[in-house]
A and B are shown apart, each in its own frame.
Chain A
Amino acid sequence: MAVPLFSLQLRHSILPSLVTIGKYDGSHHCLTAATSENKILIHSPHRPEKDISYLNISQKITALFAGKAIPNDDKDILVVGTVGSILVYNVDLNSDLFYKEIPDGVAAITIGKLNSMKDPSIIIGGNCSIQAFDYKGNEILWTVTGDNVRSILVMDLDLDGSNELLVGSDDYEIREFKDDIIVNEISETSSICALNSFSVGRFAYALDNGTVGVYDKFRRVWRVKSKSTVNFLEKYDLDGDGKDELITGWSNGKIDARNSMTGEVIFRDVLSTSIAGIVIGDYRRAGKSQMIVVSVNGEVRGYDNTSLKIESGVQTNVIHDLLQKRQILTAELNNYTKASNEGHGIPGDTRLITEISVSEETTEPCVLLTLSTNNSTILKAVTVFAEGIFEDETHVVHPKRENISSILKISLLPPKDILLDIHIRAFVGSSLDNDQFHVFELTRQLPKFSMYSLVIYPEIEDIPKSYVKFRLVERVQRLDLWLSQNFIVPQKTPVKTDGQDFWKISIKSLRDSTLTCITFEREMMCVYSVNINITADIIQSLAVYLNLEQIDSSAEFPEVLADLWENIQTMKTLQQNSVKLNASIADSSALLKNLIVQSEDFRLLDDMSNMEKCLNEIYHIDKQMIQNHQVTCENHEQLLMTLKKINTIIQNASRLRVNNNKTDTISIYRQAVASENMTVLKKLIESGNK
């Protein structure tokens, strides 16, 4: 256990992850956190007479960040993000810099210099969208991304002297934006809840499933997974060796510091409750920074390199490890030398055969993993480890006694189209009641489009009407290769081709059994599908596989356009509703205040019957307000959904083509959506420009 430098109690419940620190007067660090009463608490230890101040925020606080945003000013400003707005606040002057309604919500905030910009900007991420403002509130960037943004980081990843934007979102992707363009994507195995930069192109990430790791550029250096979840990531040089360690605050109250190169734990401590946040600052005016840990019940602890317990037995550890290694080796040796050939073992040449196929015969169409042994041995149970496709990380199949045989079928339903590694562990034995089973471990890959089956090319009238078309000069054989790498291809492929310049396939989604047809004829590639998302995915996948830097396609998606229009209309109605509901709530609360005063008056006057009436009325209004609140919540929920749909459509539409000015079009889209200019929107989807 480590010895903290100091500890104190804020005596407030702190919301997880909503902790920051800022030098609001330019010289003194003030700990800032959001409390469960939805207030911002600012703790300024340099002013003992009034060390705690509060800010009331009307909407639910969702993000908090302090940093320098005003050029040529040393003072930090505080950025507060809520479910529907952003407030940029100058704590020192007690004044707002700006306030803006953000219907997409603010889930992540950062401040930094983007690209070649001279001045820092405030970057926020919300519901599928990313926005950047300067300190006056002028929008300088707006773009969309795949899913809800959870974390944002500004850093120079490619070491070219200008900063890139890293965005982690709910669709398990970390995207790198450079000059508004997505230049790289990293697929992870869960939602990315935190990002933090390290020097020279390294950054740390944390996932919702309890994984913490470090990337060097786009190569993962290490990762560890724990059963609790990460609430906060920070970096701090705890051991004083000049290199920052990765500090992780966990939901179970643990904090640990890891070497950023190896992931080795060099320090750990436990607080009684979940960690709300970790910040770095000179909190005691000691001339150097400390690491300050805040837990959800308001406990604050500070650490620096003096907290690190001197490891007393470096040598003993070496001996311990060596002895342990000796034991493991002896045990393995035992396994070989003492392995007998008598008893209930399995034949030495037993093999586990795996086959991945697409099955539509099962009750629910799925990817079918068939495991079998090459002899009479049985498969007692199988575990499949894969991240992102099961509720937890492992799926277990343990058939009933009567149904155990040497063959076992497992149905898999990947919810998203991504390349998946699945790790299979099969318990193989000679008979049911063995008390020992051999464990076969193997890894298989599911291709990106595993949830689609290749079907016979349909008649003309069954081909979907919406399509994307573009010119492509390519050999048919390369398309075959692309197909085999990205789909589960049965032995008899229903590909219609003459092997030269004519190639047609049709795929059926196992999720909603919609058809998508891909044809290549006379140097023209055509994708017919009702689903704009899969179409976009196929085009992007083709572009990557065939190294196409530019695809200028023409598209026609009338249904998507109609959908977009409908969504825009819904959005408008919902926004109007929201205004109405807010007004009614304001009315009711005014009424309530009056009634309470009235009833108190009646009580003082001993007029019980009138008081009762008042109280009755209060009761009814109260009920009504609760109802209203629920409606408001639902309304908001719907609004978010609609906004997400719109953003997704725009995102997919822009992914129908490949070129370098994708985000340019995105801003045009946005203007068109805002002005409800359907002709422009139609043109945009069809050809990619106005």
Chain B
Amino acid sequence: MNWTIFHQHVYPIRHKLYRFALRMTGSVPEAEDVVQEVLERVWKSSEVQSEGVQSWEAWCMILTRNRSLDKLRSNARRSAKPLDGVAEQTPDGADTARAAEARDMAEQARRFMQELPEKQRLVMHLRDIEEMSYEEITRILDIPMDQVKVSLHRARKAIREKLVAADVHFVANT
């Protein structure tokens, strides 16, 4: 691996890889491990391997998906676990009622997302958070495009329903 390529194309997307690994594993330490292992793997890749790469981002995301799946299999974890350690990273740090409310809502929405079936959750993550095209999502998750579109449609519909229900509950309690 050429240091310049690594520095320009791979290292800058480490946060994206981390978020994807976090979405898949549901665990901060494991997501960190996955990213570290993926970066090492890419860094140690041979020149021949590097020459065949068309999109570094897609390749790294595929490696992240595979490594996360390995982790999940080895740990026999359930993918729908709540994200531990993420709630503290919300930007609203001010100790105000509004910030607290925002934190609660954010945590609730994350939980909604984590409760989605795995495919829907990952498609939604790649589209709504990483802003990827359908083609990229197809390549990364290795599923047909129509499945990507159907999964996104179902995921958004489910989230919307949960938001409406939570909003009704929230309004009723205030």
A joins B in a complex: no
A residues sitting closer than 8 Å to B (CB atoms) are none
Interface residues of B (CB under 8 A from A): none
